[in-house]
Amino acid sequence: MMTTLPTTAQLTERARTALERCGASGFEAPAPTGQSARTPITGEPLFDIAYSTSAETDQAIGTAQETFRTVWRDTPAPQRGNLVRRLGELLREHKDDLADLVTIEAGKIRSEAAGEVQEMIDICDFALGLSRQLYGRTMPSERPGHRLMETWHPLGVVGIITAFNFPVAVWSWNTAVALVCGNTIVWKPSELSPLTALACHGLLMRACQDVGAPMGVHQVVLGEREVGARLVDDPRVALLSATGSVRMGQQVGPRVAARMGRCLLELGGNNAAVIAPSADLDLAVRGTVFAAAGTAGQRCTTLRRVIVHEDIADQLTDRIVGAYGQLRPRIGDPFDDDTLVGPLIAERAHTALHGALERAAADGGRVLTGGERCLEKEAPDAYYVEPAVVRMPSQSEIVCEETFAPILYVLTYRTLDEAIELHNGVTQGLSSAIFTQDQREAERFLAASDCGIVNVNIGTSGAEIGGAFGGEKDTGGGRESGSDAWRAYMRRATNTVNYSDELPLAQGVNFL
């Protein structure tokens, strides 16, 4: 490691400045309540954070519902778009402030933190355009003098639960789209990233003031799972959009369904890349290393499995291991421009990494590189690790699990059918890739991968906001962000309008 880590005092000051500039203030030194904002850079607490009580959460949902009913649902969509346009401007102005907070709270390296804020700006642009394009269809009616059409209407209060790893972008995908669709929002961010949430809220409140929108359109509630559970169980929350683990989704989904609410789930992935004999190995190596080791392996789109043809397996793994060697001196302070791998979010991620490597070894896996903890002396409460590559003899149980840490399992195949079977042989279905120059192979994979995202000659992570984002199977089936994902945030009404002076019944039925 070539640089020393910043101190917690320096990070606290940097966070305070960014928060104030984003319109969030009043932070105190951490009290011994345990309810504090922390930084994974040093593993130490930054500020005291007060969790929302059940009365406060109840009130937040009530205010959001009231604002929906009295103002927001009747505000024309292009005017709602104007709020999102202003938010996009403020995000451009405060890109560095928010990126600072993302680095401080999630440990992301600078360019990835800035990239995350860029996704927010992009979705605001997208949602602004969308505010004039919430199209319904018209269909030919079977009856004369009748018009058959669909119209789309706001749902009500949208509850958003987000994870630490994309603390601001996932909120913005949901919020920008939900707002132009006419909904109001109650957001419960991860308890690991309350500061970024308060900064986003501050900017959105400023945008509301600037354009004359009601501030009640957005509420933040802070806390752990009990606070999220209130959103899950409250019948006033029309749609619950939740990002996190499969386990979380398995609890949330049935509870929301039991009250006939709507759910949009974006859960874990176990993303794989098939690397075929014809692959451009330069692309394959770069694509693999960024997708597997970027964000310290903590994206839901992180590449966790490489399925490589046996003829090129040794060559490819040697090159990947070589590239990982270049990462090793660049693990550390995420604020340093030379750093490529920042810290894991917390101790439990390190424990999970360690446990997974042990299980992989027990299944006959060979650790080719990585897995060691770094900077332990400098920051005993922070968890920096060398990204690991493990050659596996088979797709054993541990390979089928999502370990939220930088471990890349390498498996080999002989026929494309075999590769596809391995690829689809896990319960998650988020993102997938094939590296090949054979068009037939690429097309076969595009059709056969059972994931929500299927790429050719590009890694599994780093999706653009223009497409619909999400996955199948245990990943939950939800779609967020671009394309027609907006439909999840609205309800559809089918309308038949009779402009004739007869009342013909459908299907030719005669009655009275």
Site residues (CB under 6 A) for ligand UN1, limited to 187-246: 243
Q: Mask 32-61, x = binds ligand UN1 (CB under 6 A)? A: ------------------------------
- The reply to whether 299 sits near ligand UN1 by the rule CB under 6 A is yes
Q: Mutual orientation of helices 54-70 and 225-233 as an angle, nearest 10°?
A: 40
> Closest CB to ligand UN1 belongs to which residue?
463
Question: Phi and psi at residue 451, in whole multiples of 5°?
Answer: -95, 165
Question: Three-class SS of residue 386?
Answer: coil
Closest to ligand UN1 by CB, 369 vs 481, is 481
Closest to ligand UN1 by CB, 119 vs 191, is 119
- The reply to whether 8 sits near ligand UN1 by the rule CB under 6 A is no
For the bound state, the minimum distance from the C-beta of residue 300 to ligand UN1, rounded and expressed in Å, comes to: 4
Q: Mask 239-268, x = binds ligand UN1 (CB under 6 A)? A: ----x-------------------------
Q: What are 117's two structure tokens? A: 């804020």
Closest to ligand UN1 by CB, 243 vs 436, is 243
The single residue listed with the structure tokens 């330069």 is 282
- The reply to whether 170 sits near ligand UN1 by the rule CB under 6 A is yes
Q: Which window, 41-49, 66-74, 293-301, 307-315, contacts ligand UN1 (CB under 6 A)?
A: 293-301
- The reply to whether 176 sits near ligand UN1 by the rule CB under 6 A is no
Residues with Cβ within 8 Å of 427's Cβ and at least 6 positions away in sequence, in order, are: 246, 270, 400, 473, 474
Q: Which of 392, 461, 468, 475 binds ligand UN1 (CB under 6 A)?
A: 461
Closest to ligand UN1 by CB, 218 vs 299, is 299
Q: Mask 90-129, x = binds ligand UN1 (CB under 6 A)? A: -----------------------------x----------
Torsion of CA 116, 120, 125, 130, to 10 degrees: 120
Q: Which of 301, 317, 369, 403 binds ligand UN1 (CB under 6 A)?
A: 301
Q: Which window, 143-151, 271-279, 460-468, 496-504, contacts ligand UN1 (CB under 6 A)?
A: 460-468
Closest to ligand UN1 by CB, 413 vs 469, is 469
Strands (E), 422-489: 428-429, 431-435, 453-456, 468-469, 472-473, 480-481
Q: What are 240's two structure tokens? A: 């619950």
For the bound state, the minimum distance from the C-beta of residue 451 to ligand UN1, rounded and expressed in Å, comes to: 12
Rounded Cα distance between 475 and 452, Å, is 9
Closest to ligand UN1 by CB, 393 vs 466, is 466
- The reply to whether 172 sits near ligand UN1 by the rule CB under 6 A is no
- The reply to whether 131 sits near ligand UN1 by the rule CB under 6 A is no
For the bound state, the minimum distance from the C-beta of residue 110 to ligand UN1, rounded and expressed in Å, comes to: 17
Rounded Cα distance between 498 and 486, Å, is 29
Number of H helices, E strands in the chain: 15, 23
Catalytic residue among 119, 191, 266, 441: 266
Residues with Cβ within 8 Å of 194's Cβ and at least 6 positions away in sequence, in order, are: 37, 49, 105, 222
Q: Which window, 9-17, 295-303, 324-332, 341-349, contacts ligand UN1 (CB under 6 A)?
A: 295-303
- The reply to whether 178 sits near ligand UN1 by the rule CB under 6 A is no
Q: Which of 246, 463, 488, 490 binds ligand UN1 (CB under 6 A)?
A: 463
| Sheet strand arrangement including 366-369 | 366-369, 388-391, 407-413, 303-309, 271-275, 431-435, 453-456
Three-state SS sequence of 327-372: HHHHECCCCCCCCCECCECCHHHHHHHHHHHHHHHHCCCEEEECCC
Q: Residue 411 in contact with residue 307, Cβ under 8 Å? A: yes
> Looking at this protein, which amino acid is placed at residue 213?
A
For the bound state, the minimum distance from the C-beta of residue 170 to ligand UN1, rounded and expressed in Å, comes to: 6
For the bound state, the minimum distance from the C-beta of residue 192 to ligand UN1, rounded and expressed in Å, comes to: 13
Q: Which window, 80-88, 184-192, 444-452, 455-463, contacts ligand UN1 (CB under 6 A)?
A: 455-463
Please name which of 29, 34, 27 lies closest in space to residue 9, comparing C-alpha atoms.
Answer: 29
Please name which of 175, 260, 137 lies closest in space to residue 480, comparing C-alpha atoms.
Answer: 175
- The reply to whether 165 sits near ligand UN1 by the rule CB under 6 A is yes
Q: Residue 344 in contact with residue 405, Cβ under 8 Å? A: yes
- The reply to whether 462 sits near ligand UN1 by the rule CB under 6 A is yes
Q: Could you confirm whether 266 is annotated as catalytic?
A: yes
Q: What is the CA radius of gyration of the chain?
A: 24
Rounded Cα distance between 411 and 406, Å, is 16
Q: What are 297's two structure tokens? A: 């392996």
The single residue listed with the structure tokens 């101190």 is 7
Q: Which of 237, 300, 307, 411 binds ligand UN1 (CB under 6 A)?
A: 300
For the bound state, the minimum distance from the C-beta of residue 200 to ligand UN1, rounded and expressed in Å, comes to: 16
Closest to ligand UN1 by CB, 21 vs 299, is 299
Q: Which residues bind ligand UN1 (CB under 6 A)?
A: 119, 165-166, 170, 243, 299-301, 461-463
Q: Which residues are catalytic?
A: 266
